[in-house]
Amino acid sequence: MTSPKFINFPSVKSVGLSKLEDTVENRGYGASQLTDALARFIVQFREPDYTPIQVEEYA
């Protein structure tokens, strides 16, 4: 697996979550677990004392 590359001058201003998760060739970015990971991040950020099991339940 290659590491992500960040560009200096993006070609688009914003990208929707559905396009980021789209796995169809040449239509999306293939980030299939992005929404789940974002949900876990938000729960952990808002409730830092939660256990990993609680984070999964509330995410």
**pLDDT tier, 1 (very low <50, low <70, confident <90, very high otherwise):** low
Tell me how far apart the alpha carbons of residues 8 and 39 are, in angstroms, rounded to a whole number: 28
What is the pLDDT at residue 40? 96
Contact call for residues 44 and 36 (beta carbons, < 8 A): no
Q: How far is CA 3 from the centre of its chain?
A: 16
Using one digit for the tens of pLDDT, what is the confidence trace for 2-50?
777 777 887 888 888 888 888 887 788 888 899 999 999 999 999 999 9
Residue ranges per structural domain of the chain: 30-59
Contact call for residues 32 and 21 (beta carbons, < 8 A): yes
